[in-house]
Structure 1
Amino acid sequence: MSRALAVLLTWTLCALLSLPSRSNAASASWPEIVSVSSTGHVAGQGFEPYGGGPGGHTFAISDDARYVGFRASSDDLGGQGRGVYLRDRQSGTTTFQGGVTANGDFNISADGRRLMLLSADPDLDPGVADGNQHCFVKDLTTGDVHLGSRDEAGHVLDARFCAMSGDGNVVAFTPMFTGSGIYLRDMTTNVTTRVAGGRYQLSLSGDGRYLAFGDSGVFVYDSMLGHIQTGPPGSTNNIDTISRDGRYVFIRSNQSLDPGTPCPGPVCSYRWDRVDGTVSFIWAGAGDWSSRDGNTFATGSNGSPRLTTIYDLSHGTQRLAGHTAQGTTGNGDHADSQGLNADGSLMGLSTNSPNFFTSPYTLQVPQLFLTTTTSQADTIAPSVSVLTPAADATFTVGQTVIADYTCTDEHGASGLASCVATADGANVGNGAALPTSSTGGHTFSVVARDTAGNTSTVTHHYVVLAGFTGPVDPPPTVNVSTAGSGVPLTFSLPGDAGLDILASGYPASRNVDCQTFLGQPADAIESTTSTRAGLTYNAGSDTYTYVWKTDRSWSSTCRQLILRFGKNVPSYANAQLAFHFRFR
C-alpha cells in the first residue's frame, strides 16, 4: 500500500466517525418557499435555476438548514437585481449579498458563517473594481469581504471558476484572463499555492485538503501531501463534487466507467470511491446533485410529469422525492432539483407549477422551494451529543466555559427542525459561554426536534465552586493514581458552611468499567497525602479538603467518586462533584 493511500485511509476513517454540527435550524412545514422577500413578496423575475460554471451552484444551504442561498434577478427581494440572496429561515429575512453575472457561482460554508461569491460586483470590494470576476469570501457575521483570487505574491487575479471548502477557510479558483492552472488560497493564513494544470470544474473537501478538478480527465490534489491522484480513465470525464471527507468524487462522462453497467445514454453519472478505487454507475444523465456526505444523489428526468429521483447510495436504494410535478410545455412549468443539504434529507427545487405545491402565492415564474427528500414516516428521534459541559463537570466562578454540542438526524430521515440548548432555563447557543458567575449547581439541557415531531433531550449538571485547587481534575479528565494512597480534593464554597455540608451517604464511590473512559484525557495526580481520611476546613485559606483513602485492592480498576451536597448549603443542595479515577 502506498504512503498516500495509507494516509487517505486513516484520515477517511476518522472523518467518517465525525458528524456534522447541527444547531438552531428553523422548524418547517414542507414544502417551504425560499425565494421570497423579508416582507413575503416572491421574486418577480424569479429564481434563476440555471447558470454558474460546470459544477456551479444556484442553491446552497448550511448544515443546520437555517441559511439558504439562491440566485435571482429581482429588485423586489430587497436587492439590486441579479445576484445572490440569503434566506434566514429562522428569522424569516432575505438579504441581498452581492451581484453576480449569468455565470457567477456561490456557496455557503457548513456553519452558515461564510459565503463564497464569484462576482464582478464593485460594491463587494471597491479596491478591485476592475470589471472582472473575482473570487470573494464574505463573513456573514461581521459583513467583512475578503478577496480570495490572489496569486502567490498577493497580486489580484480574475477568476473563471471558484470553489470553497466546507469550513470556509480555503478557496480554489482558476483565472479567466491572467495566469494559468488552479490556485488554492488559505483564507486564514493568506497563503496561495498554485496547482499545476487544471482549468475547469473545481470542488473542495470539507477542510480544503482535497481538491477535485477536471482538465481532460478527473484529478484530485492532496494539499497535505502535494500529490495529484488521477481518476478513472476518460478524456471526457468531468467532476461535479467531492464529498466532505474527500473519499467520493461524483463524475459525469459519456464513457462507460462502471464495468458492470454500460452507460445507456449520451452521458452518465458515477461515484468514484477513492479509497477502494471502485466506480459505481448512478444514472443515465448529468447536471445533478450530491449531498456533502457523498451518500445521496438527486436528479431529475425529462418529460411530463417531471420526476425527481433520490438515490440512497449507502443502501443501494432509490425513491421519488415527496412530490411530483404535472408539468406542461410552458417555460419553466416543471420541477427541477437544485441541490441537497449535507446528509441529503432536504432538497432545493425550482418550479412554478400549481400542481406541484400548495402555495398562497401566484407563481408566474419559477421559484425556489425547500422540501424533504423522503415521504416515509420518520419515527426515530434525532441524536444529541454534549461535549461541554461534561456530565457532573466542575468549574470556578467566572471561568470561561464554551458550550459544545451537536444535534443530528439520521441519514435520509425527515431532517432536523431545531436544536435548542438552555442553561438554567436561558438559551445558550453552540459556541457561547456558559453561566459561571454564580456558585452552586447548574443544569444544561439540549433538546433536538426533527420535522416529523420526534424529540430527544440530553441534560448535564455542573457545579460552580468559589475555588478549586485540585490536585484532582474534574470530568472529562480521568485521574491516574496509585491504589492505596490518600487523594486530597481541595475546594472553596462561599465562606465557612461548617463540616455538615454533604448529603447522607456521601462521599460515595463505585466501580466503573475502564472502557467507559476510553478517549477521555488522562492526568496523573501530582500529589497524594498520608493524612487521615475525612473532611476538614481551613479558615486561613477558606478551603475545604476532603481526603479520600483508596484501597490497595483497586489496582488496575476504575472508579467514580461522588460528593453530593446536602441542604445545609442551599445553593448547592443536591448538586454533586464527580471525579473519575484509574488506579495503578
Structure 2
Amino acid sequence: SWTIDTTAPETTISGAPSAVSASNAATFTFTGSDAQGVAGFECALDGAAFSACSSPLGLSGLADGAHTLQVRAIDTAGNIDATPASHTWTVDTVAPDTAINGGPPSVSGSTTASISFSGSDANGVAGYECALDGGAYSACTSPVALSGLAEGAHTLRVRAIDTAGRVDASPAVHAWTTDLTPPDTTLLTQPPALTSSTSANVTFTGSDANGVASFECKLDNGAFTACSISTLLLGLSDGTHTFQVRAIDNAGWVDPSPASYTWTVDTTAPDTAILTNPAVVAGSTSATFTVSGSDLNGVASFACSLDGGSFVPCTTPHGLSGLADGVHTFQVRATDNAGNVDATPASYTWTVDTVAPETTLLTTPPSISNNTAATFTFSGSDANGVASFECALDGGSFVPCTSPAEYNGLGEGQHTFEVRAIDNAGRVDDSPVGYTWTVDLTPPDTAFLSTPAALSSNPAPAFTFTGSDQHGVASFECALDTGAFAPCSSPHTLADLSDGSHTVLVRAFDSAGNVDPSPATYTWTVDTTAPVSGASASGNLVNGWYVNSVSVALNASDANGVARISYQIGAGDWQTYAAPLTITSNGSHTINYYAVDASGNTEGVRSVTVQVDAVAPQVQFDPTASLTFYPLNATVVVSYSCNDPDGSGIASCTGSLPSGSTLDTGTAGTRTVTVTATDRVGKTTTQTITYQIGYQFQLQMSNTRLAPSMNSAIGGNTIVLKFSLGGNQGLNIFLAGYPKMQQINCSTRAPQGTAVALPVTGAGLQYLSNGVYQLSWVTQTSWNGTCRQVVLAFNDGSTYKLNFQFSAPRWSGD
C-alpha cells in the first residue's frame, strides 16, 4: 500500500537574532510540521537561491546592514512549503558617537552645572551613561543636572549606547573648574609720592588660581569702573590723590580688599634770584655769580645757561672762565622737590671786549664775469661797534671806503679786492678779507660731435655737441628751424619731427655769460614715410589659374628712393628682389613682399597669391591592377574617380563604363575600361585598365605542384591529372592543340625538342560529379631519367604548366 500526500509542510523559525544585532554572526533554529513527516529543510540568505540546511544553522561574516533568512521545509513526499518562514534583522557593529552640546564655562563660580549632549548612530541611540570626575558610569539623560560641586576641576564623560548595545568607545568630555575663591590685586608701578605731573600711569596685576578676567579702578571718591592693567590718569589737580584697583577672576569673584596708593601733585614752580654779578662791560674773560631760590615745598637744585646754551646743573657761587669777547648773558633757574622748574629764569647781560674787529664780504661779482665794472658790499663786527673801513684793489694801498664800493673800466684778466674794518677803539682788522675774480670778454666756440644721417627715418634724432672756452663753458642754447633759442644740454633729443628738411643751431655760453656769435648749424632731411610696393602677374590665365607657369613682377616707389624689395615665396626664406619671379610648381602660391626706402623706412608686408596648374589630372581605379583576373560570372563592380591634387580641379570625369557599373563576366576573355579626366584649365589624362575573365583553375592533386616546381613520377605509369575550374564549364575548355607535352632540361627547365599532344587514355577529358576534371596521361618507361612538362592552355586565355621528373621504380626484397 502507499499514501498520496499533496499537502506541503509548514515551517517555523524558533530561534533567531534580535532585530538589531551587534554581531556579524547569527544562529537560527527552526522546525517543520507535516502529517507524513518532514524530510529536510532549505535556506536562503538575502534573496540568494535556496540550498539544503539543517537546524541549528550558524551564519558568520555578515556585513553591517539588513539581512533576511528564509527557511522552507520539505516533507517525505517531496512537497515544499510554499510560504517559507522568514526573519529579518540588522547587523550593526559600529559603535555610536557622542557629542556635548552645552555646559558650564571653563571656569564657573557656581556649585551647580547643567550639561546637554546628543548621540548619533545609523540604527539609533538607545540611551546614555555619564561619569563625573572619574566615577563609575551610570544611566543618564540630557540635560544632566549637577549640584553641590566642590571647588576645583571637574570632568563629565558621556557615552551613547546604540540599539545593538554597542557603547561609544570615545566618550564625549566636558571639563570645567568650580572657583569659589576671590582674586588678589597688586600694584606694580605708581607715580612718586610727590610729583609735578598732572597725569599718572599706574600698572597692576592680579593673581587667582583660575585666572583674572578683568579689573575695576577708582580715583579718590569716584566709583569703581572697568580698567586695563596699565591705566593713565589725566588732568589731576594739585593736592593729594588716592587710586584703588580690584581684580575680578574668571568665576566673577571680586577682590574684597582692593590695592590702594596715595600721592601728592605739586605744579607750582619756584622763584630764582641773582645776588652778585660782574660789571656791565668787563675786560676779563672770567666772571662769578651767586644765586638763591624760594618755594613752598623747598628748592632741590639749580641749573645755569650761558649765552642761550643748554641749562646744566650748577651751584652757588657759580664761576665762568675763558669767555670770548662780546656780549654774554647768564641765566639761572631753580627746581623744587616736585620737579617743577622756574619758567622765568633770573638773567644778567654784560660785554667782554679784548679782540679787534672782523670784516665780512657780503656780495661780490661772479668769479668769472664779462662786466668791466664791479660792486662789493661788506660789513664789520666788533663787540663795541665798527667805526670805518679801508679798501685796496689789485695790490694797491688801502684807502678809506664805504659799502658798497664800486670799480669801473676794469681790463680783461684777473683782479683782487681787499677790505678791512676799524672798530671804535681804533683797532684794525689784522686779517683783511679778500676776493679774486676774472673779467672775461672773449666768447666761446661751439661744435657738433654727432648728428643724424643727412637722410634719416628717425623723427626723434639725438645730437651731441661741445663747446670750448678759456674759462669753461657754462651752458648751451638750441634752436630748431626758425624757432627761438632755448636752454639745452648734450645729448639733445628732438621729438615728433615732420617729414622734410630741418636745421638745428647750437650756441655755447661761457662762465662769464659770453655767447658764441656763430652757432654750430646742421641741416638734414627727415623721411618717416614708408615706400609703397606692388605686384603684377602675367601668364596664360584660365579660370583663375595660370597654365604651366606664371611670372610675378614686383615694384616700389618712394619720394626719397627705394633701397630694396624683399620677398618670400610661401614659408621660404626672405630674399632680395632682382627680377620677375617665375613659378612653375603646381598649386596655390603666396608671395609676401615689402619695400625699404633709402631712409630705412620699411612698409608692412604685402602679399599676392597666384595659382599654377602645371600637372595633368589623375585617374584612380578600384580595383586598380590591370589584367586583374576574375572568375566567370563573378560580380565585379568597376569604380573609378578623377582628382587634380593642388590643381585647378576636375571639370569632367568620363569613362567607357560609368563608375559603379558591374563588369560583364559571363564569358571568358579580357574587358577594358577607359576613363578620361579633364581639369578646369583643359589638361587631360586618359587611363585604360584591363580585366581578365576566365576559369577559376585549381589543381586537385595531392603532392603535385605547378611549375616551376618539379614533381616526381615513374615512367610507364598512367598519371591522372585532376583540376577544377569553379564549376562545370563543359568539355570544350582547351585551346586547339592542347593539352601538350614538352621534354625539358631537368636542371634549367629549358624546352628540348618539339611539343606534342599529351597522350591520354581513350576516355579523354572527363568532368566528374564532384566538380573535378580529369585526364589520364599515359607515360613511357623510356622517359625514366628525363623530365617532361605538361602545358594546359584554356580557351579563357590562361595557361598552367606542371613539371615531372621520371625515374625507374626502386624494388626491395630478400
TM range, smaller chain? under 0.3
Greater RCO between the two (CA within 8 Å, min separation 6)?
1
Higher strand share: 2
| TM-score (ref. length: structure 1) | 0.24
Higher helix share: 1
Tell which structure's C-alpha radius of gyration is larger: 2
